[in-house]
Chain A
Amino acid sequence: MTIDGLAKEFPGRPVFSDISAVVEEGRRLVITGPNGSGKSTLVRILCAFNRPTRGSVGFEIDEKKLTHLEIRPHIGLVSPDMVLYDELTAIENLSFFAEVAGHRFEIPELERRLENIGLAGRGRDFVGSYSSGMKQRLKYCLALLREPEILILDEPTANLDERGKGLVDDIIRSHHGIVVIATNEKAELFYGDQFIRLGD
């Protein structure tokens, strides 16, 4: 992943400028900075949800350069800005997103994955009835569903208890591709091999 001279401005307000980094497979990039410094905005740009004002983000997988939209199938995202359907059950959510992405999972397989993330026996409950921590766990289950090369985590341990934080630790440490973490938590800074500090 190559971030080259990235800058973002909202009308009348520069958010960040001149951000550059090259992140290789197996590395972890931590984006940190105070509230309002643009961490989530940078995450949205990496996922191609927002366009930068200047600069570019490039991705190369298996020696093939990908455009900003082509990268989306290779991204697993956990973010407070990304919400799943409250009116569907966890299994319905996972099945739906898998199907529109072109994959099909058998229900026992989805149940096994929910169990791995600490949601055993809750797959047929409506997501609207979940606690915020359970919703966060479900987002991890969805993010890992298609085994993405790039895992992007915005506030990765938000709403999670200690066991949940342990699960996130396992996920981050066992991921073989790139992991991008946007955080203010001191404990999560230690994951980083590379850092982008915003708001300096």
Chain B
Amino acid sequence: MATSSSGSATKAISLFLKDIKSEFRTRYAINAIAMFAVVTVFAISFAIKGTGLSTELQASLLWIVIYFSSLSGLAQSFVKEEESKTAMALRLYAPAEVIFAGKLLFNLVLLFGLNLITIPLFAIFISFEVASYPLFFAILLIGSTGLAVVTTFVAAIISKASVKGALFAVLSFPLILPLLVEAISGTKKAMTDGIAFGAARMEIQVLLSYLVIMVVLSFLLFEAVWND
């Protein structure tokens, strides 16, 4: 017989595990993200032909690749539910906050997986060198989390639209621009020799503030977006 269980966290983890299982069986998002990351890094590598790039350019290229790779895959979490008509059952059985938390968790894992592919490729093919690893990973962690929050929320908005791809880029870019600017600036500092962790305090503060605002807004607004 049924036993009543679980708070929202347990339910969100159930949704996350379902998405992981579905993803490994269908390869819906992983392939898109991985291919985009690999192709863009190789394209950049061939274009620069061993020419040394400035730290500004390397940091910008890294975040551009992460941003566009995430656009190609992270929207799938909601788009797939709508296109395969499973969203209706999900709406009926799962509370809105559980759905957002579960999808966010899944997108975070995808995005960190993307980082695991992109950064070694950058190090090998673009001669990307980090001077301060603690700073670099702090920026990467906060920046990627912010990116996942915004793309997850925007993915829910565009999932019912007919021109999803274009709309996703148009809606997400203005929201993500402040994050990209600070993440690029922080990454550039992490690549500069002799820079202390505290030198990027401003970037970290802005990224953290951005993350908190986006998490709060997303959880507050998601129910209206998902149910209307």
Chain A 63-115 residues near chain B, CB threshold 8 A = 69, 72, 75, 77, 79, 81-88, 92, 96-105, 109
Q: Dominant SS at the B interface?
A: helix
Contact (Cβ within 8 A) B21 A92: yes
Which chain A residues border B15 with CB–CB below 8 Å?
A: 96, 100
Contact (Cβ within 8 A) B2 A83: no
* Chain B 85-107: CB-based contact to A (< 8 A → 1; otherwise 0): 11011111110001000100000
Contact (Cβ within 8 A) B4 A102: yes
Contact (Cβ within 8 A) B91 A72: yes
Which of the segments A2-10, A24-32, A46-54 contacts the partner chain?
A46-54
In the complex, whether A172 has a CB less than 8 A from a CB of chain B is no
B111–chain A nearest beta-carbon distance, Å: 22
A78–chain B nearest beta-carbon distance, Å: 11
Contact (Cβ within 8 A) B85 A96: no
Contact among B3, B85, B92, B94 for A75, CB-based, below 8 A:
B92
For B2, B25, B26, which residue has the most chain A Cβ atoms within 10 angstroms? B2
A85–chain B nearest beta-carbon distance, Å: 6
In the complex, whether B228 has a CB less than 8 A from a CB of chain A is yes
Tier of interface size on chain A: 20 to 34
How many residues of B are counted as interface, with CB atoms below 8 angstroms from the partner's CB atoms?
29
Contact (Cβ within 8 A) A99 B6: yes
In the complex, whether A122 has a CB less than 8 A from a CB of chain B is no
Contact (Cβ within 8 A) A101 B94: yes
Chain B 4-61 residues near chain A, CB threshold 8 A = 4-6, 10-11, 14-15, 18, 21-22, 25-26
Contact (Cβ within 8 A) A83 B18: no
Contact (Cβ within 8 A) B91 A49: yes
Contact among A69, A84, A103 for B3, CB-based, below 8 A:
A103
